[in-house]
Structure 1
Amino acid sequence: MPSTDRPLRKLGFLTIGLFDPAQPARGHESTLEIIELGERLGFDSAWLRHRHLQYGISSPVAVLAAASQRTRRIELGTAVTPLGWENPLRLAEDLATVDVLSGGRLNPGVSVGPPMHYEQVRAALYPDTADEEDFSYERVRRLLDLVRGKPASDFSGTEGFEEFSQVVQPHSPGLGRRLWYGGASLGSARWAGEHGMNFLTSSVVRAQQPDGPWDFAAIQLALIREFRDRHPDGAAARVSQGLVVIPTDSASPRQRATYEAYAARRLPRTSAPQGPGRLLFAPDLVGTSQEIAERLYEHAAFQEVDEVAFALPFTFEHEDYVQILTDMATRLGPALGWKPAA
């Protein structure tokens, strides 16, 4: 097995939390059970995606509040919350509340930009201000300021029997250091570093050059280095990589066939940038833990990180996620130099 000067320090996973619209409670319960399993297996973190107007978790903060009461150690994150759907002040209150409930384990990841299918949802989302909404980095800066304790109001004191604060309550002092930006471009990496955030880089990056060949790992490596060059902590600034990783060590023949077919269907999109955003996707990694570890050790961006939040595939069954997570924790993680949390 190859070696590395930067053994894996934190192992996490990311799930979308799909559910049957006829039985949404069961899907949400499955997600909570997976997070509980992750804690028992020694994972350092569990992350949820947002899926608005889809059959996936639309309110990760609410689900993580529930998870905070069913776990004691594992860190809980969002990867990522698209701020175009959020009011920064209200979100700051929700995040601080869940962080307090979790004992300081929340790791909110965010991104900016217009909501997906904005022309179709703008009337419902912002009926009076759709044309005035600012979906730039200013939106995340407002969230940062509010979470970090800058005033939200110029009024404080007693009014009748009620006490008012100028800053978001509850205030959770450590939360401001656990905010992450999910970025796919050099501009995002630069902004996140300059504003002292942590950086989430996933299986999607934005192609910089107009013509190929396109090297996903090289582009992702450039993002990581740009972020750290701009961050006050330099090389020590936190970066987490989130590739889709599917170990098959204990998988049944049916599961292996399902996993390989899933990756094969998604492989064509990795050959060239996709859509007007010129998004380049990484191939899914499917195989034994030894095979996956060897591919990761050869990955230029993986060589620069010591934290990962491997993404679980979207459409598998609960028992598939149990097998994948178990193999990650018991075989792949140790092959990457990771040790499970006590």
Structure 2
Amino acid sequence: MTVPERPLSKLGFLTIGLFDEDEPAAGHENTLRMIELGESLGFDSAWLRDRHLQHGISSPVAVLAAATQRTSRIELGTAVIPLGLENPFRLAEDLATVDVLSGGRLNPGVSVGPPTHYDHIKQHLYPDSWDAEDFGRTRLSRLLHNLRGEPVSTFSGREGIETYSRRVQPHSPGLAGRVWYGAAGLASAEWAGEQGLNLLTSSVVRAEEDDDFARVQRSHILRFRERHPLGERARVSQGLVVIPTDSATPAQRRKYEEYARGRLARTTAPQGPGRLLFAPDLVGSSERIAQALAEHAGFQQVDEVVFALPFTFEYEDYEQILTDTATRLGPLLGWTPAGRGGQGA
């Protein structure tokens, strides 16, 4: 088997937090159980997607607040919060609160741009300002300003028995340096580097300069690091859908393979006017997946990954996938479980 050029230093997983509309508590509880399982298996991080008007977690920050009280080590991330639906002032308060509760383990991942299906929700989201909202990068700049503890008010001091601050409270030092930017295009990757952010690159990219997913992803990573003050030391995390089957039952293997086949057509060519290019799901033995990753031009440029779990599986499936990822696939990629003497400790 080909050995990866960069031994994997950090291994994480990402889930949508699927739930039944008629019984949402069970799905949210399963998500918390997965995070607890991830910590026990030595994963370095657990990340939640952000889904609105769907049957996936719509408030990852609230769920991660609960996770801080059920874990002690694993890092907790969002991948990603679309800032078009958020007030940067209030979001900064929520993120800082969760970071304080976690002891500095929060990794906020964010993105910019108009909210999905904006024309259908704008009257409820911004009834008085829907045609004037700025969904560009200034929204992220405002969030970073708030997280850094820079002034947001011209008033401070005592007023009666109450004391007021000029900056968002609580303030959590270091949190702004743990913000990740979800970038699918070259210009976004360059901008993230110029701002000194961390880069999340997922299983979706824009086919701007090439029609090969791995080469496009590699170009984004290289351009990001060229623009980043830390250069080669700038943090990049790759997120592909990875499904090891080592301990899966025959029924699970069939389900996983059918899932991947149903999504394969979209990976053969750029999709839509945005020329979105999707990576094929990686399904099979850990050895087979490790070999495929070692030959992947994007993976070759990273030493951190956040593997995405499929949307529609059962908790028992996720348990098997996470266990195989941590105990079989991870070590083949040069990773050592956190707390066991490796780089993730």
How far apart are the structure 2 equivalents of 1:65 and 1:312? 21
Letter in 2 for 1:254: A
Is the 2:260–2:283 Cα contact (8 Å) retained in structure 1? yes
Shift of 1:273: 1.2
Q: SS where residue 173 of structure 1 aligns?
A: coil
Equivalent runs, 1:1-342 vs 2, <5 Å: 1-209=1-209, 214-342=211-339
Is the 2:244–2:329 Cα contact (8 Å) retained in structure 1? yes
Is the 2:5–2:294 Cα contact (8 Å) retained in structure 1? no
Is the 2:84–2:112 Cα contact (8 Å) retained in structure 1? yes
How far apart are the structure 2 equivalents of 1:162 and 1:183? 42
How far apart are the structure 1 equivalents of 2:5 and 2:55? 41
Give the count of matched residue pairs: 339
Shift of 1:3: 1.5
Q: SS where residue 37 of structure 1 aligns?
A: helix
CA deviation string 1:71-122 (max 9, x = no partner)? 0000000000000000001000000000000000000000000000000000
How far apart are the structure 2 equivalents of 1:254 and 1:198? 39
Q: SS where residue 175 of structure 2 aligns?
A: helix
How far apart are the structure 2 equivalents of 1:4 and 1:207? 25
CA deviation string 1:260-284 (max 9, x = no partner)? 0000000000011112221100000
How far apart are the structure 2 equivalents of 1:314 and 1:197? 28
Letter in 2 for 1:303: Q
Letter in 1 for 2:6: R
CA deviation string 1:152-184 (max 9, x = no partner)? 111111111111111111000110110000000
How far apart are the structure 1 equivalents of 2:249 and 2:9? 29
Q: SS where residue 262 of structure 1 aligns?
A: helix
How far apart are the structure 1 equivalents of 2:190 and 2:150? 23
Q: SS where residue 265 of structure 1 aligns?
A: helix
Q: SS where residue 177 of structure 2 aligns?
A: helix
How far apart are the structure 1 equivalents of 2:281 and 2:85? 29
Shift of 1:191: 0.9
How far apart are the structure 2 equivalents of 1:155 and 1:195? 29
How far apart are the structure 2 equivalents of 1:53 and 1:275? 23
How far apart are the structure 1 equivalents of 2:270 and 2:213? 10
Q: SS where residue 109 of structure 1 aligns?
A: strand
Shift of 1:5: 3.4
Q: SS where residue 116 of structure 2 aligns?
A: coil
Letter in 2 for 1:56: G
How far apart are the structure 1 equivalents of 2:273 and 2:152? 37
TM-score by length of 1: 0.98
The root-mean-square deviation of aligned C-alpha atoms, in Å, is: 0.7
